[in-house]
Structure 1
């Protein structure tokens, strides 16, 4: 009888602990857009958006690649993840392709030269828009995060 109570208490404790862990590790759903159109006004509120060309313009297809735009409401550790094929077009993604950026969040955003937030860092403040990022980071952004 004493063993049965001890086992029951341990089981209840394990279930309670598992519930607490699940509750603390659950996060809100984050989203990524890979079809943002030309224009800084196309970046949704509370998002960070990047375009492959200056002045918030999507690039033209060249050699089967569409250099477009991407937006996210979360940290992105690898811009190369955004690749897809659509009909006959193969979108390269935004790895080392961004030339203009919009920060429609209330936080500072740090853009990085390498994946996983490494290398050169370019910071912009809340609500900032850069029609042309500085030449030293142009076509070199590989990751970004709230900082």
Structure 2
């Protein structure tokens, strides 16, 4: 399957060139920043386009070898689009609040998820007559 193509004009019309506030930046990203306007960094699309192509090739290679890709888009505007795209591809996604440690502390996060599912099962299977402490 061929990778999608795009032009710099399409990226600009989509607003890809708008970055974060100027106070929230990493100095290592300086080469990719074109300038600033109204306290918002403007990304250099001439640097962005080749990196976007590399990223698309990397995703293609990972999925071709049976790997999984995590889609992340927690902004309100991107949330439904991220969910739809990930579902269409059969991949994982996070489109609401990112929980700290989801990647770096996955064991603890997965245990919390498992415990939450167990608690949910207890409540649905009938916890009548039990106190809160007995349920927990």
How would you bin the TM-score normalised by the shorter chain? under 0.3
Greater helix content: 2
TM-score by length of 2: 0.24
Greater strand content: 1
Larger RCO (alpha carbons 8 Å, 6+ apart)? 1
